[in-house]
């Protein structure tokens, strides 16, 4: 339970200079406020600070404190410790607007959250924590625009960050930007695999902790903690509020409501126990508001410009059908669950925002594969989790639950809901798609929405699987995919990176950025492509320069 003492904000509006923002985004700053833990034995903030789920009048703050040397993540050890927090209008903390205390306990793995309200909309704030005489690093955050505001918004967009596959340089490049309202993380924030299994040991850049596949609460806690020791990830959280949803690897590969491809009941215990452990650790370690229903589906408002509808596509879904099985069309099977689909449809129909942004962890656009040669069919099938000997659809994404997709797209069409943009991760490739009502007759038939899919931060893509330089085979494969899917404007099979989504009243534009080498801690980033959808069109088009 958090106690809070809100301090009335000064009447003069504070302007936070860009130079100050850049300072907090610098990885070198992370952890600098804590004394040398091994030398002093004092409490330490070893996992950085974070904020998330911005509201017009509020923000959620997060940190984890290590109260004693033996109180390691997942250990269950360590005493209760009072943790203070404060929020200010300036980096020097001379204009503090709110402060309070909370208690870090072993029961919550010594993670703490403060849900601060009474703030001004569209305002940058600085925050920090204290434990005894130890001061945490400072973080910068930002509240959402007022409900009736019409100003533009800009998000960094990321997905699929496998610790063992590479360094998190996309996070570093996003942390250095001073123009973002928030980061949207579309899932696979962590991976559950044992070390050396994905990718193979000879391609592993760094080793997971714990080294075995994570199953228990202690395991999931330690894996989350390991990721949050990465300085680039710490810098991202310190620079921007994060809005996150989960996908399968926060649990186990290809998870569904009753199990997962990467779970063996008996040797790995009951699935329900594993899910409960994974969700508990997630809500402890992520800057998201804890749900009593154990889900991450929720809605955030960004002024009159956009409603952001965030989906949970693992907790309620039916088991994946077999490839080629007509069960993919069974109306009794669902990827969302009935309650979530009704919630989404209601929210889309009742929204008065100019844009409907839908955070979906798996792709909603249909994908057919045409006449790909066997040497390319196999690795692409591996990316999509499909049999390598011949495929029609990816049954783990909306292609495997066609009745839900048909109902949702029909709802958009029947209600004349315009400007719906699906924002997607999961498959380690970048796409810019129209979302057709009937793919077989597209483009003669209508497009109900558009979709921007971001590539992975580090997880394997086509050239990683084939172990060839980027671009060696992708031109042929991308051409074949586009030929078989006329609603696909662009697909990039080779690169790692991130997206930046810029939304105005006139258009939503995704700028795609690629990093030079996931195995290089100092990898550079460069703009790759940009696509936009104009207000009222439901179609994507290429733009020849990123937003400035």
Kindly state the tokens that stand for 15: 């302007």
Identify the burial level of 212 via C-beta atoms within 10 angstroms of its C-beta, where 0-12 means exposed, 13-18 middle and 19 or more buried.
exposed
Q: 3-class SS at 388?
A: coil
Are 100 and 186 in the same domain? no
Classify residue 360: in a domain, yes or no: yes
Strands 430-436 and 447-453: antiparallel
Q: How far apart are CA 169 and CA 227, in angstroms?
A: 13
Q: What is the pLDDT of residue 374?
A: 56
Classify residue 92: in a domain, yes or no: yes
Are 172 and 213 in the same domain? yes
The closest alpha carbon to 187, from 348, 382, 427, 347, belongs to 427
Kindly state the tokens that stand for 398: 């909306």
Q: Nearest 10 degrees: CA dihedral of 233, 235, 237, 241?
A: -130
Classify residue 59: in a domain, yes or no: yes
For residues 271 and 212, is the Cβ–Cβ distance under 8 A? Answer: no
Q: What is the CATH number of the domain that holds 125?
A: 2.60.40.380
Q: What is the pLDDT of residue 407?
A: 98
Classify residue 147: in a domain, yes or no: no
Classify residue 148: in a domain, yes or no: no
Are 327 and 471 in the same domain? yes
Are 277 and 336 in the same domain? yes
Out of 142, 168, 183, a domain closes at: 142
Q: How far apart are CA 401 and CA 333, in angstroms?
A: 7
Out of 142, 161, 191, a domain closes at: 142
Q: 3-class SS at 215?
A: coil
Q: How far apart are CA 53 and CA 189, in angstroms?
A: 16
Q: How far apart are the first and last CA of the chain?
A: 43
Q: What is the CATH number of the domain that holds 189?
A: 3.60.21.70
Displacement of CA 260 from its chain's centroid (Å): 20
SS3 sequence of 143-185: CCCCCCCCCCEEEEEECCCCHHHCCCHHHHHHHCCCCCCEEEE
Cis peptide before 210, with omega less than 30 degrees from 0?
A: yes
Are 118 and 24 in the same domain? yes
Are 342 and 459 in the same domain? yes
Q: How far apart are CA 220 and CA 250, in angstroms?
A: 9
Q: How far apart are CA 228 and CA 307, in angstroms?
A: 29
Are 231 and 201 in the same domain? yes
For residues 364 and 357, is the Cβ–Cβ distance under 8 A? Answer: no
Are 123 and 175 in the same domain? no
For residues 357 and 533, is the Cβ–Cβ distance under 8 A? Answer: no
Kindly state the tokens that stand for 356: 């409907």
Q: What is the pLDDT of residue 479?
A: 87
Residue 473, number of CB atoms within 10 A of its CB: 20
Are 119 and 240 in the same domain? no
Q: How far apart are CA 265 and CA 277, in angstroms?
A: 15
Q: What is the pLDDT of residue 472?
A: 79
pLDDT, block means (10 residues), the chain with 548 residues? 38 28 35 48 95 98 97 97 98 98 98 98 98 97 96 97 98 98 98 96 96 98 98 98 98 98 95 98 97 94 98 98 82 97 98 98 89 63 55 80 96 97 96 94 94 97 86 82 92 96 98 97 98 98 95
Q: How far apart are CA 488 and CA 477, in angstroms?
A: 13
Q: How far apart are CA 545 and CA 547, in angstroms?
A: 7
Classify residue 548: in a domain, yes or no: no
The closest alpha carbon to 510, from 531, 491, 492, 495, belongs to 531
Are 379 and 258 in the same domain? yes
Q: 3-class SS at 307?
A: strand
Beta-carbon contacts of residue 537 (< 8 Å; ≥ 6 apart)? none
Residues pairing with 327 in the sheet = none
Task: State how many domains the chain has.
Answer: 2
Residue-range definition of the domain harbouring residue 184: 153-543
Output the CA angle 192-50-458, nearest 5 degrees. 40
The closest alpha carbon to 400, from 362, 430, 369, belongs to 362
Out of 142, 167, 200, a domain closes at: 142
Q: How far apart are CA 393 and CA 375, in angstroms?
A: 18
Classify residue 43: in a domain, yes or no: yes
Are 518 and 430 in the same domain? yes
Dmax over CA atoms of the chain, in Å, equals 70
Q: What is the pLDDT of residue 387?
A: 47
Classify residue 366: in a domain, yes or no: yes
Q: How far apart are CA 35 and CA 43, in angstroms?
A: 9
Residue 177, number of CB atoms within 10 A of its CB: 16
Are 174 and 133 in the same domain? no
């Amino acid at each position: 339970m958090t106690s809070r003492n809100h301090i009335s904000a000064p009447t003069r509006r504070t302007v936070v200079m860009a130079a100050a923002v850049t300072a907090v985004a610098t990885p070198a700053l992370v952890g600098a406020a804590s004394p040398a833990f091994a030398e002093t034995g004092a409490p330490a903030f070893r996992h950085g600070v974070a904020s998330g789920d911005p509201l017009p009048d509020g923000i959620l703050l997060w940190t984890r404190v290590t109260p004693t040397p033996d109180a390691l993540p997942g250990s269950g050890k360590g005493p209760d410790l009072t943790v203070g927090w404060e929020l200010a209008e300036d980096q020097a903390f001379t204009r503090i607007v709110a402060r309070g205390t909370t208690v870090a306990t072993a029961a919550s793995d010594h993670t703490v959250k403060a849900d601060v309200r009474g703030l001004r909309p569209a305002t940058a704030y600085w925050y920090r924590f204290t434990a005894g005489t130890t001061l945490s690093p400072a973080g910068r955050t930002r509240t959402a625009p007022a409900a009736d505001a019409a100003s533009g918004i800009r998000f960094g967009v990321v997905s699929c960050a496998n610790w063992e596959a590479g360094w998190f340089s996309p996070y570093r490049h996003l942390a250095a930007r001073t123009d973002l309202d928030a980061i949207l993380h579309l899932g696979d924030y962590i991976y559950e695999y044992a070390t050396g299994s994905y990718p193979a040991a000879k391609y592993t850049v760094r080793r997971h902790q714990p080294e075995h596949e994570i199953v228990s609460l202690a395991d999931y806690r330690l894996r989350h903690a390991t990721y949050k020791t990465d300085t680039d990830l710490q810098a991202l959280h310190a620079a921007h509020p994060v809005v996150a949803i989960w996908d399968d690897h926060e649990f186990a590969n290809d998870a569904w409501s009753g199990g997962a491809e990467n779970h063996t009941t008996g040797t790995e215990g009951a699935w329900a126990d594993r899910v409960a452990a994974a969700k508990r650790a997630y809500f402890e370690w992520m800057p998201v508001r804890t749900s009593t229903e154990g889900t991450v589906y929720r809605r955030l408002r960004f002024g009159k410009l956009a409603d952001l509808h965030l989906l949970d596509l693992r907790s309620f879904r039916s088991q994946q059908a077999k490839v080629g099985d007509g069960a993919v069309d069974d109306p009794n099977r669902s990827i969302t669950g009935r309650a979530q689909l009704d919630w989404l449809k209601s929210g889309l129909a009742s929204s008065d925002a100019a844009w409907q942004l839908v955070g979906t962890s798996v792709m909603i656009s249909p994908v057919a594969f045409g006449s790909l040669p066997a040497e390319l069919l196999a690795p692409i099938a591996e990316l999509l989790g499909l049999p390598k000997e011949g495929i029609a659809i990816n049954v783990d994404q909306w292609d495997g639950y066609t009745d839900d997709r048909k109902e949702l797209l029909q709802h958009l069409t029947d209600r004349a809901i315009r400007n719906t943009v699906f924002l997607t991760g999961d498959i380690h490739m970048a796409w810019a798609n129209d979302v057709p009502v009937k793919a077989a007759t597209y483009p003669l038939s209508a497009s109900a929405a558009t979709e921007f899919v971001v590539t992975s931060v580090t997880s394997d893509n086509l050239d990683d699987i084939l172990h060839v330089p980027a671009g060696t085979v992708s031109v042929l494969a991308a051409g074949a995919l586009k030929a078989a899917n006329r609603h696909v404007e662009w697909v990039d099979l080779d690169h790692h990176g991130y997206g930046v989504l810029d939304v105005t009243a006139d258009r939503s534009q995704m700028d795609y950025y690629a990093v030079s080498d996931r195995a290089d801690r100092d990898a550079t980033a460069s703009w790759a492509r940009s696509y936009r959808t104009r207000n009222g069109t439901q179609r994507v088009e290429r733009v020849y320069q990123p937003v400035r």
